[in-house]
Structures are given as structure tokens and as C-alpha cells.
Amino acid sequence: MTAAEPPRLRLRPGVAVTPLRNGLHLRGRDGSVTLEGSKALPALWKLLSEQFGRGPEDLLGEEEYVDPESGGLRLDPADPRVVAALTALTAQLQAHDLLAEYPPGAAEPAAWLGACAPRPARAAAALAATRPVVAAADPDGPLATALISALHRAGSPPQVYRDTGLPADRVVAVAGTPAVAVAVTRTSDGGFVTAPAEPERVRTDAESIAVRLGADTGSAPADAAAATPAALTALTALLAGAAAQRLLCAAAGLPDPAGREKDLQLLPDRPAVLVAVARPPHASYRPWVSGPADPASPSPAPVGSLAEALRRVGALGDPYLGVLDAPRPGGLPQLPAALAACTSVAGPLVAGAPRTDLARLSAACRAAELHLDEVMPGPVTVGAGPGHALGRALRRAALAAAGPPDLALREEEWREQPQARHWWTVLTRHLGLAMQMTVHQFSVGGAYLAVVRNLAARGGTAGVAARAVEATPADAAALAALGAVTRAMAAEHGPAGAVHTAFTGAEAPLAVAGVEPAAWTDDGWTDRWLAGIAHREPELCAALARLTGLTGLRPDPWQPGEADLADLADLADLADPAAGGPAGSAGPVLAALRACGFTVLAEWGGAR
């Protein structure tokens, strides 16, 4: 019996090699490696490249190959030391994904498969077993023609048929078993390519994306000159090539070119849409989170860190496909506290916090709540996960249930805590505001209410500058004082009539997740203080549940049911992404929040 012939190793197409004084630098599509330490490396490379079926002159150039200082070194391929060196060099190339394996005796597949497929021969076989189908209202139109040509060049000639149900500027291509599809649209100012999905879902996504982007994909000013014929030809080629690549990669089981795992603007578990703009020429993959809600599709796991929460906030506020305006610090001051602003259905919104990242999270959650308050019954609370949403909702319920205040605690019980002292000093001395702080204990143990009143204002609620509910008198006082500081900063530096939202301790667990404060820090350091609030959060939530009568209940996050899907579709049709969106945009906002793993609690909590 003859042993099976081992697979052939070949350099991936596109790999380039640069000689160094004592080594080589090799780089490919997704990896590179630098090998240094011996003048014999070019000679080793000559032997190895011949084994790979490529002459060294194809990579290095004939004149570059021989190092003058090496004296034209020649190696004996039978020398055991040379064999060991070649084996080590091959292992390095494989570790950096610069080599591909091919079955013995088989023809090498198309170069693009050799460049990107982990197993090019297997991917080529998968593509050979399927024939793409291209549907367009006008198969002879420029976009359809470009897509058909791109598939031909990739070695997958398609079947073509006329689909009068498609818009004139859209083409849908299907391939593979089970069937996978992409839709591509080109308008006068841009276009897009959907993520590969089931054919029906792709058509639905394309309609939703077209609505989200508007009649024209680009963001050019109304008086901008029209794109030139050359620019439109380039845009058509780009979109058609991207659609062909995404379709064939999906049919062959290859990674999607969007590279969601590497691009921090995208979400690893959500689709990405290629959005192209003609003026100025630009194309990038954008997160797509506001597609139709599917009750069979599980919501992503709740976020585990502040960085992940902000990544999802970025998807919700994507400038092309997002459903909310992205909170940004812009020109707002970041000292003594941090501010972030965005637009909302209630007008400009400004959030304040100890840090800018926390202000962005608070602003995003409040903006989403304002959208949903317009159409959902009862108060709505939005959080980056169940725990975050529950903490925000219980604090609001406690504020709504707070009766006449009990006897105020003595100032000494909160004033000496570093954060409470700091923010109270900032408020009354640095900002020079005449304020009064009172701290009360709720009837249940383990929960305190701090209220900051403006002594220059009239009595009643109009004079309340900030309130906070926390687990200790000092925490409540510190956050109430911080809230009054950021309110004053927003009034002076923010947009006129802006809605203000304050930071609460509910954000603390996310702020410190995966972060260990330095051992030498105390509560005067924000990280250490937030870690303490996060540690006390479970006991505080239990106390607030007893206070509000919600003991033993678990909040049910919003999930789309069959009846909700039709409502969401109707709301999506009414959505207008301009200027923050109207009440009708609650449907896309709900779907997007669920897609990003955020929690929406309806009829929980009270006054903000």
C-alpha cells in the first residue's frame, strides 16, 4: 500500500518579500513576519521558494537576491542542518498564514481564493457546485452588468433574470445551498451592499436600509455639483465588486470581508453594511442594528464592560444607519465634570458624569428613553443590560415614592467623605452657587436620599437642583452635588433649552467591570469610589425593591412578539432619522436596542 501523498504547500498569491541585511520581511493579505539574524536566510529562501513553485526572482528580484557580503552563499538541500532550518522557516510562514495547502495533483484555484481562503481547494469546490442567480429590474443596467461581470471574473458565471418587483437601482444576487443572498443599491450620491443573509431577509434589509439612508445615500449638500460620469462608474464598480465578494465568500464558507472582529466600529455578532458615498468618494462598513426584530433571534448577551457598552452606543448612533444621535463631548467643557450632548425628541440633551465615557452612556440611555416615552405606556427605563436598567428604574421608583422627608442627617455624616466634599466644594466655591444639601434616610435601611436646592430659586420643586438615591449618605450627597454641578455647567455651556440628565450609581458596575483600582488609592480617586458604589449596588437594589413594593418581582425586558412585528414595521416606515427622529421612530429604536443587547423596561420607575 502506498502512503497518501502529502498536500502541496504554496505561497499565497500576493505575498511580497523584502530582503534585509540579515534576513527577510514577508507580508501577505492578513499577516506578515520578519526573519532576522542570519545572512543565510536569502539562500534558505531560494531553496524554499523553489519548493513552493515560485522562483526567488519573482519575489525579490534577480539583482536583489544575492547579498554581496554573503559571497554568493549556496546551501546543500540535503544537509540535515539546512533541512531543519527549512522546516523552521516553513513553520513560521504557516503560523503567519502566508502559506496555503492544496491537494496533490489538483489545479490551483483562483488567485483570490488562494489569497484569503483557509483551505482554497475546498472553497473552490464549494463555488464550483453552485451557480449564482442575479435578479434586477433591468439586467442590462450598469449596476447589474457590473455585478455579472464581477462574478464572471471570479469564475462563477451567474444566471440572470428580470425581477420587475425590484427598484430600478437595486440588484439582488443569490448563491449556495442553503441559499444566501446580498442586495446592492446605487443612487446618484452613493449606495450600499447588505450583509449576506437569507434571500427574504436581504430584501427586507435593503428596503429598511434605503429608508434609513434616505432617497439619496450620500450626505452631500443640496447645492453640491452632481457626481461626474467617471465617479459614478467607479462607484458602480466598487459596489458590484463588493457585492460579488460578499456573496461568494458566504457561499464558500469564507469570512465576511467586513471583518467585524477587527473593526471596533462594528459589532461582532451583528450584520455590517457597506455604505458608499460619491462626494467625496468614500466607502466603509457600518453596523446594522435596526433591521426588523425577529422573535426567534436571541438578543445578544448583556454587555460586560463600559468599553463594550460604548461600542454598542456607537452602533446605535452610527451617522449612516443609527437610530439615535451619537452623544459627543463636542465643544463642551470636561472640567470640573464631563459633559456629552446629543439631540433627542425632546430637543438637545446634555448628560454629566465624572468622566466623558460615562456621560456618553448616560446620554444614550436617556435619549432612547425619551424616544420610547412618546409611544410606550408608563415610564420606560433603558440600560446597557438587565442590572443597569434595574438600578436606574429602582432609583426612579424610589424618587417617585419618596414621601415627606424625615429628619435630615447631620452634615458630618456625609461631608468628610472625599468625593462628597470635593463635589460640594466645586458646587459652592468653584462655581460660587448658593446651594443647600439635605440628606435623609428612607424608612427602609440601606438607602438614602440627597437633595440639593438652589437657595436663589423659589421654594418647591423649582428650587431642586439635583437628587440622588444611593446606599450611603456620602454616596448620595456626592452624586447629588455632582448632578447639580453638571446641571449648572449644562445651563451655562450647553445648547439653549437643553434637557439635562445626571449620572447615577447604576452606571458604576459597568464603569469598574474588569478594572481593579490600584491598592494605594482611596475614595478620593474616582475609580476606587465607583468600585465601592458598585460593590454596594446589590444591597441598595434590594432595599429599594422593599421600599417601592417591588420585592420578588423581576423586570421583563421588551421582546418582540408577533403583534409587535407589524407595529414595528409600521413605525419604521414613519421614522425620520433627521433631527433626532419623531415619536414614530420608537419601532426602530426598540429593535436596535434589543439587537445591541440593551434592556428596555416598560412601566417601571417614576419621575426622572
405 confidence band (pLDDT: 50, 70, 90):
low
| HSE-CB of 257 using CA atoms within 13 angstroms | 21
Mean pLDDT, rounded, for 465-471: 91
Closest CA to 275 of 323, 212, 228, 342: 212
Q: In 190-330, where does DSSP find H-type helix?
A: 199-213, 229-251, 306-316
pLDDT, residue 98, reads 78
| pLDDT digits 0-9 by tens, 377-402 | 778 889 998 889 999 999 998 888 76
Please say if the pLDDT value at position 61 is more than 70.
Answer: no
Q: 23-27 and 16-20 as β-strands: parallel, antiparallel, unpaired?
A: antiparallel
Closest CA to 394 of 604, 194, 217: 604
With a CB cutoff of 8 Å and minimum separation 6, the contacts of 228 are none
Please say if the pLDDT value at position 9 is more than 80.
Answer: no
Q: Pick from 75-79, 212-216, 242-246 the range whose average pLDDT is largest.
A: 242-246
Please say if the pLDDT value at position 578 is more than 70.
Answer: no
Please say if the pLDDT value at position 68 is more than 50.
Answer: no
pLDDT, residue 216, reads 40
Q: How far apart are CA 217 and CA 505, in angstroms?
A: 41
pLDDT, residue 280, reads 82
- The pTM assigned to this predicted structure is 0.78
pLDDT, residue 534, reads 93
- Kindly calculate the radius of gyration of the chain based on its CA atoms and give it in whole angstroms: 31
| HSE-CB of 244 using CA atoms within 13 angstroms | 24
pLDDT, residue 521, reads 85
246 confidence band (pLDDT: 50, 70, 90):
very high
With a CB cutoff of 8 Å and minimum separation 6, the contacts of 18 are 24, 25, 26, 27, 60
Taking each continuous run of H as one helix and of E as one strand, the counts in the chain are 19, 20
Mean pLDDT, rounded, for 366-384: 85
Q: Which residue has the cell 443597569?
A: 388
pLDDT, residue 603, reads 64
Q: How far apart are CA 130 and CA 92, in angstroms?
A: 35
509 confidence band (pLDDT: 50, 70, 90):
very high
Closest CA to 172 of 151, 144, 211, 191: 144
Mean pLDDT, rounded, for 219-243: 73
Task: Please give, one letter per residue, the 3-state secondary structure of 124-170.
Answer: HHHHHCCCCEEEECCCCCHHHHHHHHHHHHCCCCCEEEECCCCCCCE
| pLDDT digits 0-9 by tens, 108-150 | 677 777 777 767 777 777 777 778 889 999 989 999 999 999 9
73 confidence band (pLDDT: 50, 70, 90):
low
User: Which value, to the nearest 10 degrees, does the dihedral of the CA atoms of residues 488, 491, 494, 496 take?
Assistant: 170
Q: 282-287 and 99-102 as β-strands: parallel, antiparallel, unpaired?
A: unpaired
To 5 degrees, how large is the angle CA 487–CA 488–CA 494? 80
**Mean pLDDT over each residue of the chain, to the nearest integer:** 79
Check: CB of residue 288 under 8 Å from CB of residue 266.
no
Under DSSP, the state recorded for 74 is: -
| pLDDT digits 0-9 by tens, 551-560 | 654 555 555 5
Q: Pick from 245-254, 296-305, 349-358, 587-596 the range whose average pLDDT is largest.
A: 349-358
Percent of the chain with pLDDT over 90: 28
Q: Pick from 36-40, 95-99, 253-257 the range whose average pLDDT is largest.
A: 253-257
Mean pLDDT, rounded, for 55-69: 44
Q: Which residue has the cell 490600584?
A: 518
Mean pLDDT, rounded, for 25-50: 76
Please say if the pLDDT value at position 19 is more than 70.
Answer: yes
